[in-house]
Amino acid sequence: MKPMHDTKRSIFTLAALALLAAAPLCQAMDAAPASGAHAAASYERPALSSSTMKLDADEFRETDVWGRIRSGYAIPDLNNALVTRHAQAYAAHPGNLSRISGRASPYLYHVVSELEKRGMPTELALLPVIESAFNPQAMSSANAAGLWQFVPGTGKDFDLRQNMFKDERRGVVASTDAALSYLQRLYTMFGDWPLALAAYNWGEGNVQRAIKKNQELGKPTDFDSLAELMPAETRNYVPKLQAVKNVVANPSQYGVTLPAIDNQPYFTTVDKTSDIDLAIAAQLAEMSLDEFKALNPQFKKPVIIGGERTKILLPTENAEKFHINLAQWGHALSTWTTHRITGARVTIAQLASKFGTTPDVIRQANNIPPQSRLKAGSTILVPKTSASSHGDIAENIIENAVVAFEADRGKAKRNASRFKAKASTSKNSKRLARNTSSKRKQR
């Protein structure tokens, strides 16, 4: 995407912008409450003079999202050896941050806009760089998922639905809303952004206990003073964000090139109240399946379940194409339905035959590992047939469906038998070869 350029900007406007950029954006932070008993501070921009207010608002519009992030920095800077080390690491490998920034380009405008709506520091938009490298499909060893790396429990606390068909921890809009709400709550609790960020990574209970320990010892309770009580990951967490913040503030100083990101929405939302296949949705939007999934990573199955909360994200121009093509679509929107396994001896091959497909299709649609079979009580996705229901998948199935597997012992035994047979054949062949060789020598 090419950055927009405003050739009509006057010298007077440039001067006004310079004044705005130099405004004390951290004043609100300096006035932040010192304890969690107080509400979070409001981060409002400095008041404009009456003469400045008369200028066209578009004159102040940043042409690049990075500029908006820089102008909204409001967390007091951290300056220690860890910050220096992490900033040097980005400088040593400038391509890493450039690649992450390219991956962030579809999402960053939305994140920054949501932060500004809430009056929050805009450098928080850089937190997914640390959390997930802006990969919505990222999954940690602790089962944390998405851009903001929510673990299942915390995701549920913030109303991020997780079921067989979707995981809203991966959804860009839902997870961003939840993450910012969580960060606001943590700031209200601690009255300090570095501690709020440490709690986001380590858990508020752990930070509260560390604060209490230092209070009992008569020690300070700021981030630096508590750092020695934190695990290494948390001790490095805030310095890493500060390092990214420093690089974004002055990329050329670190030899980093940030891809330009237009200061305008990349995507829009489309409500979907009926079921639709992922592939059909991408086709109607005239997008590749990979492009569609990049904006809609929360959908786990080849069908998107409709409902009042179901929203599809599409680039604006593709949303227009989607509506036009949808109006002209004369076929079924969904080719999938569900089937509940009632018997323990039902094989994947039998299911495939029943629903007119192949075992590979059944396994792929339901993420069934090889050499395993479905347990009784499992609900799986299967292709619709003339004998199956053609309506949408019911809400009670969506919320309660589970899939459970177990090792296919019969298959394992068959494989073991084949292995033994091959081994036996190999031994017999070797014995026959030795006997033949012996006879030749005797001759």
Write out the catalytic residue numbers: 131
DSSP conformation letters of 104-140:
HTTTHHHHHHHHHHHT--GGGGGHHHHHTTT-TT-B-
C-beta atoms surrounding 216 within 10 Å: 8
As a residue count, the chain comes to 443
- CA 424 remoteness from chain centre: 52
DSSP-assigned letter for residue 335: -
C-alpha to C-alpha distance for 140 and 151, rounded to whole angstroms: 9
Q: What Å distances lie between residue 266 and 103, 256, 295, 321, 389, CA to CA? A: 13, 24, 10, 15, 37
Report the phi/psi class of residue 176: left, alpha or beta, with left for phi > 0 and alpha for psi in -120 to 50: alpha
The residue assigned the tokens 């750092």 is 227
Cα dihedral 240, 243, 245, 248 sign: negative
DSSP-assigned letter for residue 373: E
C-alpha to C-alpha distance for 385 and 373, rounded to whole angstroms: 23
3-state secondary structure of 319: helix
Of 95, 158, 96, 164, nearest to 130 (Cα)?
Answer: 96
The residue type at 131: E
